Structure 1
């Protein structure tokens, strides 16, 4: 069986029916011309048929989906236009009015808004629990619970959910389990190995890796992906042909990028932990992380994401000074690219109220870092000069 690095280059090559080494961009909305009515009917009804109409699928998206499904060790995958398209479409394929979802207090802000605000308008009940408390998930199960939706490590506080426990709970209770695996990437974490049914990604982040596209991915059984695909036909969040090609290109270097990012992030976290201006460093690779042993058990690497808390009074002002002073780290949204980014979650999470921010561990002095592939000495030097100004 081919190794991971080889799969990233060659998986799904059957979807490239040309003789070109690099899959072409199929820049067309309509792929299929046929005089055979039966053949036409087959094309329009076949799940993810790659050469019929763009909303149904395209060959490059099919190849990218094959790579991601292989990485996540699921039967199939579907590529969509954004991470939120993947998350919302997958959830809408799993629940209906009258159903109940168990989720966490800490989720990506847009996911949380979708769960609490959007779904409530359509009669879906959502219960939020503390993700580090296994029993809280079990206690929240009801007769109409159809989905357990988790995110680990969580955004932005990097708390860990016990994948093995959730996988078993779902199987024992007959409840579908779904995870946002964006922060980890399939290089660092493969939830299917722990019995998780469905994996979603913002492929904008690590999978694409170059901050030049938006995309999403849903991974699961063929049956589940067929359901998601049918929802996607009506919701219409198809990934453009060019972005499919960019995603496929980005995936080829995923293992190399993530390993360098992991190395940089651990070294930077260890250095930041020693700085007097920082009261706390949250990074799953640090022994000081309260769930380090669980992270070590279910993760192969610790990601490029870390969170820090600024020490002392006027945390907001100090955070602003750091953001203004950094030269290598850019104050920008998103994450998982080759460049290092930093963000102030309390300002970004505008859709969350103060109580919600508190439950998610967000304060005025919280800063979220996405570590890139720059030289670690430059990253440390950048933070050193910025911290000296507060």
Structure 2
């Protein structure tokens, strides 16, 4: 655990990232936790083995390495407990499996991450669970969608790819009043810019692959839970039998040390480019919640303390051919999935699976992950994309 004498209750985020989760005095003074490779753990005697009351009993159930990352995330999230799983999608799947069963009803915001929708529409459907998608602008109307068998309200803020904002506390309060568990995909903001449990949410979900890892070299997810929900979440993890590798855990722990610095750079560069994009005639709209022009800006400003490096633009006209021309002209921006790493990425967003929150009508939606390159170089690269559009 972290050394409590080091950190006061008001320590800043960078300080906490550097010093929370692990106490060097527990491991001979080494400033980083060991990467413990383990399956079997030995017991001193039969009595202890029968009681199962020693700290570690089997590698699947945790090691000093996974403990360090779980404790660090608990400190950042203000949560009672955290589980680690091998991907961001697994971090979405596990709490849904933990709190839903046959005959249950699940409410999911329509601007959710695409693979979340796929999981709900396939595996959960086969389990006899009904998923209903709601408009991110529903507000207090969410109360009218709650049923006697509604067990989960699943949120994402900002929305995936189009960045719609929600009043998270309002949604979590409606879920709790209706006897449902609320959970949110908080990957975009990280706990440095938004702490869902402080707003009444029960479980906060992250793709640690993104900003916590930060270097596009590891896949991992986490779910941080309040006291009321953690035991059931942990039980589901152990019943399914999934944990994470020590080496991947070590990479995420290392990434956390610089996450605050990286996020400041991502935020500043993304805002500068987003503001510039608003001046371009080729762009119909810029979808970035930190821009005053964005419809959900007031909600973002009231709830969040910062913005990350991911946003979208809507091209002014054109279709798949225009999107391809723009993207294929880019040289610094890579064409690839994921985001949150050091490198800038771009892709055309597909929104055909939306039920309520339909795709913008003006033209193709291009999602941009703004990395750590020089902003002038990124702007020049994007100008090359706009030049390709003009040449069509």
Is the aligned partner of 1:185 residue 2:190? Answer: yes
> Residues 360 and 107 of structure 1: is their aligned pair in 2 closer, same or farther, counting only changes over 3 Å?
farther
> Residues 380 and 42 of structure 1: is their aligned pair in 2 closer, same or farther, counting only changes over 3 Å?
farther
Q: Normalization by structure 1: what TM-score? A: 0.92
- 1:1-390 to 2 correspondences below 5 Å: 1=9, 2-14=11-23, 17-19=26-28, 20-30=30-40, 32-43=41-52, 51-313=56-318, 315-346=319-350, 354=352, 356=354, 359-361=357-359, 365-390=364-389
- Distance, in Å, in 2 between the alignment partners of 1:98 and 1:375 is 52
1:42 Cα deviation from its structure 2 partner? 4.3
> Residues 80 and 21 of structure 1: is their aligned pair in 2 closer, same or farther, counting only changes over 3 Å?
same
1:151 Cα deviation from its structure 2 partner? 0.5
- Distance, in Å, in 2 between the alignment partners of 1:142 and 1:261 is 41
> Residues 276 and 269 of structure 1: is their aligned pair in 2 closer, same or farther, counting only changes over 3 Å?
same
Give the 3-state SS of the residue equivalent to 1:389 in structure 2: helix
1:294 Cα deviation from its structure 2 partner? 0.6
Give the 3-state SS of the residue equivalent to 1:200 in structure 2: strand
- Distance, in Å, in 1 between the alignment partners of 2:110 and 2:369 is 22
1:169 Cα deviation from its structure 2 partner? 1.3
Give the 3-state SS of the residue equivalent to 1:126 in structure 2: strand
Q: Normalization by structure 2: what TM-score? A: 0.91
> Residues 160 and 38 of structure 1: is their aligned pair in 2 closer, same or farther, counting only changes over 3 Å?
farther
1:319·1:365 contact (CA, 8 Å) conserved in 2? Answer: yes
1:152·1:181 contact (CA, 8 Å) conserved in 2? Answer: yes
1:157·1:360 contact (CA, 8 Å) conserved in 2? Answer: no
Give the 3-state SS of the residue equivalent to 2:323 in structure 1: helix
Task: Give the superposed CA RMSD.
Answer: 1.9
- String of CA shifts for 1:188-219, please: whole Å, max 9, x gaps: 11111211111011111111111110001010
1:53 Cα deviation from its structure 2 partner? 2.1
- String of CA shifts for 1:143-171, please: whole Å, max 9, x gaps: 11111110011111111111121122123
1:306 Cα deviation from its structure 2 partner? 0.6
Q: How many residues align?
A: 378
- Distance, in Å, in 2 between the alignment partners of 1:113 and 1:120 is 10
- Distance, in Å, in 2 between the alignment partners of 1:221 and 1:42 is 27
- String of CA shifts for 1:222-255, please: whole Å, max 9, x gaps: 4522222221123233211100100111111111
Give the 3-state SS of the residue equivalent to 2:268 in structure 1: helix
> Residues 16 and 384 of structure 1: is their aligned pair in 2 closer, same or farther, counting only changes over 3 Å?
farther
- Distance, in Å, in 2 between the alignment partners of 1:29 and 1:357 is 45
- String of CA shifts for 1:259-310, please: whole Å, max 9, x gaps: 1111111111001111111111100011110010111001111221111112
Give the 3-state SS of the residue equivalent to 1:97 in structure 2: coil
- Distance, in Å, in 2 between the alignment partners of 1:355 and 1:91 is 20
1:15·1:60 contact (CA, 8 Å) conserved in 2? Answer: no
Which consecutive aligned stretches of 4+ in structure 1 deviate over 6 angstroms post-superposition?
none
1:173 Cα deviation from its structure 2 partner? 2.5
Q: Which runs of 5+ in 2 are unaligned?
A: 1-8
1:119·1:125 contact (CA, 8 Å) conserved in 2? Answer: yes
- String of CA shifts for 1:112-137, please: whole Å, max 9, x gaps: 11112211111111111001211331
Give the 3-state SS of the residue equivalent to 2:217 in structure 1: coil
1:13·1:63 contact (CA, 8 Å) conserved in 2? Answer: yes
1:360 Cα deviation from its structure 2 partner? 4.7
1:63 Cα deviation from its structure 2 partner? 0.8
1:356 Cα deviation from its structure 2 partner? 2.7
Give the 3-state SS of the residue equivalent to 1:13 in structure 2: coil
